[in-house]
């Protein structure tokens, strides 16, 4: 039968790390877009009552989204509190790249976001994207400029304002990341690499 000769493409997966300061929106980012029930290790913080803003990831969050017919992104959310940062190196192993969530509602957290970003940059030369969350009522242009400066971002690193509770915003962030991956591959020395992601151009 002719159908027996059809080549089946192997399903591939890639690891995307979602990181940022405490309570920036990492878990929400993953929950908004994941096509599976997110595996989460949230716990109440040691002070205060159990409210949505008083819970933190202590190990990781895990979600999954199919990008193409043969490519899935595995989303790993990092702990935001410094005492759990030993997990960062573990989650970063083999990553395709990372998304840094910045918290516009807490400008004082920008220094921590910069430290986190530098940690992952030092681990591997991989594509990254910055997503500014909780930007209600703020001027996007000013926010983008101030955040890029505060993080010390190179001009090649994409940065965008998004509401991580909105699926379309998270999809736009992931598309921006995938385009950054393609740009990164094109910049690599040596023979051209066939990305096979399809539908992103």
pLDDT digits (tens, 9 = 90+) for 114-148: 999 999 999 999 999 999 999 999 999 999 999 99
Q: What's the pLDDT at 190? A: 62
Percentages (nearest 5) of helix, strand, coil residues in the chain: 35, 25, 35
148-197, pLDDT tens digit by residue?
A: 999 999 999 999 999 999 999 999 999 999 999 999 999 887 654 444 44
Give residue 90's pLDDT band: very low, low, confident or very high (50, 70, 90): very high
- Helix or strand holding residue 63 (H, E): strand 55-68
Is residue 51 predicted with pLDDT exceeding 60? no
First to last CA, the chain: 35
- Greater confidence, 69 or 24? 24
- In the chain, the percentage of residues whose pLDDT exceeds 70 is 80
* Mean pLDDT computed over every residue of the chain: 85
């Amino acid at each position: 039968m002719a159908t027996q000769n059809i080549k089946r493409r192997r399903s591939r997966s890639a690891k995307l790390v979602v990181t940022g300061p405490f309570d920036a929106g990492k878990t929400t980012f993953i929950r908004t877009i994941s096509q599976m029930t997110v595996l989460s290790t949230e716990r109440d913080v040691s002070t205060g009552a159990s409210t949505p803003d008083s819970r933190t990831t202590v190990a990781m969050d895990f979600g999954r989204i199919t990008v193409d017919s043969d490519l899935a992104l595995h989303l790993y959310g990092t702990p935001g509190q410094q005492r759990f940062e030993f997990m960062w190196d573990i989650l970063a192993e083999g990553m395709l790249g990372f998304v840094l969530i910045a918290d516009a509602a807490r400008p004082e957290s920008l220094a921590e976001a910069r430290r986190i970003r530098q940690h992952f940059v030092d681990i591997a030369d991989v594509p990254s994207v910055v997503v500014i969350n909780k930007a209600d009522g703020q001027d996007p242009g000013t926010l983008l400029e101030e955040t890029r400066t505060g993080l010390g971002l190179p001009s090649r690193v994409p940065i965008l304002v998004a509401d991580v509770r909105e699926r379309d915003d998270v999809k736009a962030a992931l598309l921006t990341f995938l385009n950054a991956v393609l740009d990164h591959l094109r910049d690599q020395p040596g023979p051209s690499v066939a990305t096979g992601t399809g539908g992103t151009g």
